[in-house]
Amino acid sequence: MMKVAFQGEPGAYSEQAVFGYFGSVLTEPCQTFDDVFEAVHAGVCQSGLIPIENSLAGSIHQNYDLLLRHQLHIRGEYFLRVRHCLIGFPGTPKDQIQRVISHPQALGQCAGYLRSLGVKTEPVYDTAGSVKILKASGERNLAAIASRRAAELYEMEILQEGIEDNPENYTRFLEIAPQPVSVLENAKTSIVFTLKNQPGALFKALSVFALRDIDLTKIESRPLAGKPWEYLFYIDFLGSPEQESVQRALSHLDEYALLLRVLGAYPRFKVV
């Protein structure tokens, strides 16, 4: 059976994404994103699934850096709708809750709801970890915010589901593996490049796509480690290097960029 690495405790949103994307597989919880890449390199897992961007919080930059440092390929993308749950001991009435713990980001995304509940909040390091802490505490006026799966795993009860203030809360995940896939229709391609630091440099780089009507879906700049305030650019665009126009755009960009790497071409995920 296939085994997939993800970062987090069992019950993390990333694990939920693994099941949503791959279906029924074995999962390997890893402490850090680094460990996810290592597990795939070492062959402990056939694939890894890493979060790359959240529609509210923005990009997970560390994973951009890891994509560059490792020689793995992006083979696919997946969008997970994040639905936060208020989780407590079975049978606890909601109005008995006095204190809520979770990762600061989850607390922030439910700030309006928590204010209306009139509870105190306390940050902990992980969403699924907060359910573990809840269970160990034995406190019936304490609740955690985490995924449905985390509640089930620790045999706690979902007191309310979908408590996030903004329902447009999606996380985009990327599948990474040692071998690339071949894709032509409805493809997306992810690349990374660096440019000479001079006026108009990015403008010239983007011209290779604009001239060929290639649609960019994402642009991200990252500081270049060891050279503060010089940047790497990460771009996603629609199309595959198996198309001639894309091939030409990339060879045109290669003339001009100091570094250019295709991180992967893969089927575009359609949010339903």
Q: Which residues bind a second copy (CB under 8 A)?
A: 32, 53-59, 61-62, 104, 108, 123-126, 166, 168, 170, 198-200, 202-204, 206-207, 209-210, 213-223, 225-229, 231, 271
Chain mean position to CA 174: 7
Strands 58-59 and 99-102: unpaired
Give the nearer residue to a second copy in terms of CB position, either 148 or 268. Answer: 268
Selecting among 92, 171, 189, 194, the annotated active-site residue is 171
Distance of alpha carbon 233 from alpha carbon 193, whole angstroms: 5
Shortest spacing between CB 127 and a second copy, in angstroms:
13
Query: Which of 204, 160, 148 lies closest to 17, judged by CA?
Result: 148
Which residue is listed with tokens 């069992």? Answer: 10
Distance CA 248, CA 213 (A): 12
Minimum CB distance to a second copy smaller for 134 or for 159: 134
Task: Supply φ then ψ for residue 264, to 5 degrees.
Answer: 160, 150
Spatial distance between the Cα atoms of 28 and 42, rounded to a whole number of angstroms: 13
Smallest distance, a second copy to C-beta of residue 175, A: 18
3-state secondary structure of 166: coil
Q: Which candidate in 37, 173, 209, 237 is catalytic?
A: 173
Answer yes or no: 171 catalytic: yes
Q: Which is nearer to a second copy, 138 or 226 (CB)?
A: 226
Task: Tell me how far, at minimum, the Cβ of 221 lies from a second copy, in Å.
Answer: 5
Assess whether 173 carries a catalytic annotation: yes
Of residues 26 and 225, the one with the C-beta less far from a second copy: 225
- Residue among 44, 26, 35 at smallest CA distance from 8: 35
Q: State in angstroms the smallest separation of the CB of 90 from a second copy.
A: 28
Q: Which residues are catalytic?
A: 171, 173
